[in-house]
Amino acid sequence: MKRRIAILGSTGSIGCQALDVVRQHPDLFEVDTLTANNSVELLARQAAEFDANNAVICNPARYDELASALSGTSVKTFSGIDSACDLVAGGNVDIVLASMVGFSGLLPTLAAVKAGKIIALANKETLVAAGALVREHHAPILPVDSEHSAIFQCLLAAQGNAVSRIHLTASGGPFRQWTREKIAAATAADALKHPNWNMGAKITIDSATMMNKGFEVIEARWLFDMDADHINVVVHPESIIHSMVEFEDGAVLAQLGHPDMREPIQFALGFPERHSLNNKKLDFATLGSLSFEKPDLERFPALGLAFEALRRGGNIPCALNAANEAAVAAYLAGKISFYGITDIVEKCVLGANFAANPSLDGILATNAEIYAKANELIDAGSD
C-alpha cells in the first residue's frame, strides 16, 4: 500500500523537495494533506498536482484565495493552525513530514505525535523548545535533518553497540573564513549566500550564526538520548560527511553523500527501505580531500549559547529559540547587526524565568514572553 503523507510546510524548501521525492515515486507515496502559512498560489498548485485530499492555509485571512484557487477540484480547503492539527492527527495520514519553519510547527507536530503518527522531523524548533513533551508520547520520530539522518543511519549499522560520542558536522556557513570584524558588518544578503545548501532565509541565517548547529545539538539530545558532553561539533566545509558516531573502542562510522536534502527526506518517508533517487552520486576518484576544523566560538558565539541552554535545560532552550526567531527576523529586516542576533539572544536567555519541567502551557508562555522581550530590546536599540 502507498504511504499517505501529510506535509506541514509544503511550500518551503523541505516541503518542495519532499514533493519531488513523491513525484519520483508515485507508486510508493500519496499526498493526503498539505499546509502553508501564506503561500496560497504555490499551495494550490501543489494540491492540484498531487490530488491532495486537504489543503490548509494557516493564515485564515488568505482562506478565500485558497478556496477560489482550488474550486472545481476535489481538494478540500481549510484554514488555521487548528485545522492543520486535526488533519495530521486524522486516520487518513500514515506519516507526517514536519517542515514548518520555527516555533509555529510545534502544535501540529505535537498533535501528530499524540495521535501516534510516524513523524519525519525537519522542524528542529519542535525538539529545541519542547523536547521532553514530544518524547513523553513515544511516537516514532525519523530525523530529516541531514546530520541527524546520518547519525540515525550510522546507529542502524551499529546494531545496538554503545556509542561514546556523536560528531555533528557543520559547513561553517558563508562566514567560515571571515574575521570577526568583517562578520560584524555583514549584511543579510551576505549571510544568505550559503556555500553548500539551498535553504529558506531563516535557517540560512541560523547557519551563518551557527545557531542552526546549536539547535541540532539540542535535537540530538532528544533524538539519541545523549547529553551535551557526548555531542561534538566539527566544521567540515565540503558537507560530504553528514555526521558520525564514535564507539567505545574508538571506531567511527560516518554517512556520506552530496549536499541534497532529498536523500534524508526520502530515507525518512520510505524507511526502512531504500529506493532509487535521481540525485548526484559520489565519485571518490574526483572528490578530492575532505577537511575538518574546530568551531570558533568567539566568531560564532551562538553555538556556545546553545550548549549552555542545553546544559541548563527546562524551558531555557525554548527561550533560546524564541529570542533567536525575533532577532533573526530583525536582522533580515535590517534593524540590527549580525552580532546583534546573539547579543539579544544572550540577554533574553540570561533573563529568562527558569522552569525545570514546563508544561505545554508553560512552553507557550515562555515563547511569548521571550519573543516579546527580544522585540523590546530590538526596538530600544539594544544592539
3-state secondary structure 109-173: HHHHHHCCCEEEECCHHHHHHHHHHHHCCCCCEEECCHHHHHHHHHHHHHCCCCEEEEEEEECCC
4-27 b/e (C-beta count within 10 Å ≥ 16 → b): bbbbbbbbbbbbbbbbbbbebbee
Query: Which amino acid does the sequence have at 153?
Result: Q
Q: Residue 320's pLDDT band (boundaries 50, 70, 90)? A: very high
Q: How far is residue 183 from each of residues 215, 234, 281, 299, 330, measured CA to CA in Å?
A: 21, 20, 34, 8, 17
What pLDDT is recorded for position 381?
Answer: 80
Average pLDDT over residues 159-178: 94
Average pLDDT over residues 14-31: 97
Average pLDDT over residues 214-219: 97
Q: Residue 326's pLDDT band (boundaries 50, 70, 90)? A: very high
What pLDDT is recorded for position 288?
Answer: 87
Question: Tens digit of pLDDT for each residue in 93-152?
Answer: 999 999 998 898 999 999 999 999 999 999 989 999 999 999 999 889 999 999 999 999
Task: Name all domains of the chain by residue range, CATH numbers in brackets.
Answer: 3-143 (3.40.50.720), 146-260+277-311 (no CATH), 313-383 (1.10.1740.10)
Distance (Å, rounded) from C-alpha 111 to C-alpha 241? 33
Residue 91 has pLDDT above 90, yes or no: no
CB atoms within 10 A of CB 80: 14
What pLDDT is recorded for position 194?
Answer: 82
What pLDDT is recorded for position 382?
Answer: 46
Distance (Å, rounded) from C-alpha 118 to C-alpha 316? 27
Average pLDDT over residues 3-22: 96
Average pLDDT over residues 22-38: 97
Residue 85 has pLDDT above 80, yes or no: yes
Distance (Å, rounded) from C-alpha 243 to C-alpha 230? 14
Question: Tens digit of pLDDT for each residue in 258-299?
Answer: 999 999 999 999 999 999 999 999 999 988 899 999 999 999
Q: What is the mean pLDDT of the chain?
A: 95
Q: Residue 160's pLDDT band (boundaries 50, 70, 90)? A: confident
Question: Tens digit of pLDDT for each residue in 62-76?
Answer: 999 999 999 999 999
Cβ contacts of residue 198 below 8 Å, gap of 6+? 13
What pLDDT is recorded for position 200?
Answer: 81
What pLDDT is recorded for position 383?
Answer: 42
